[in-house]
Amino acid sequence: MTTTTATTLRLREVTFAYRAGTPEEVRVLDGVDLEVAPGLLTVVAGRSGSGKTTLLRIASGLILPSSGEVRWGYVALQHLDEDGRARWRRENVGMATQGGGLIDNLTAVENVLLPGIGRRERGDVERGAGLLSRVRLAHRTRHFPGQLSTGEQQRVSIARALYNDPGLLIADEPTANLDRGNADDVAGLLVALAADRAVLVATHDSELIERADTLLTLD
């Protein structure tokens, strides 16, 4: 298990472009600068297709920018190969996807423990239950996703993202398809989690945008 450290993610002049089967280049991101610092909730906003998810994928090392620099402390992600970025991601990043991405035939606590599959440690179940307690789901450890509300499923996804105690938590549209009450619960949880780690969120949610300490709007 890793220990959360106060490290800032820095993106400098990040550009991402591709060719969609034509000679013309499609530029999704163009010269983006962003700092994702611990203790702050950093939000990326913008309409659908503006590049929010692409930016999160670059920030997590899943893809490399066409140009520019991505640094986590002294680590330059663009200088790591795919295996190196995968190791860095396992040690430093937790990701909560839109809709939760839970496995239907696993209980809530089993879903939380998925990042540790193949390297189970003594006390893991108790630790998973503790993470569910942190997202206010201590009473739901043995429930399956189909027995949870959409908001509860999203909180299980966030608990799973915390499994490795990441220094960087990334959430893609975490309040999408939630009613206002559940969306506010998830927003409050992300604000609380930002107290001791860097949190980067992509969202359309105006309430979550208003709670941002740092806001980047993509056009």
- Give residue-wise pLDDT tens across range 52-77: 999 999 999 999 999 999 999 999 99
Give Cβ neighbours of residue 64 (< 8 Å, ≥ 6 apart): 58, 70, 77, 78
Question: Distance (Å, rounded) from C-alpha 161 to C-alpha 219?
Answer: 29
Give Cβ neighbours of residue 15 (< 8 Å, ≥ 6 apart): 27, 29, 30, 31, 32, 65, 66, 67, 68
From first CA to last CA, the distance across the chain in angstroms is 39
- Give residue-wise pLDDT tens across range 169-201: 999 999 888 888 888 888 999 999 999 899 999
The structure's pTM equals 0.89
Two structure tokens written together for 117: 């599959």
Question: Distance (Å, rounded) from C-alpha 218 to C-alpha 49?
Answer: 10
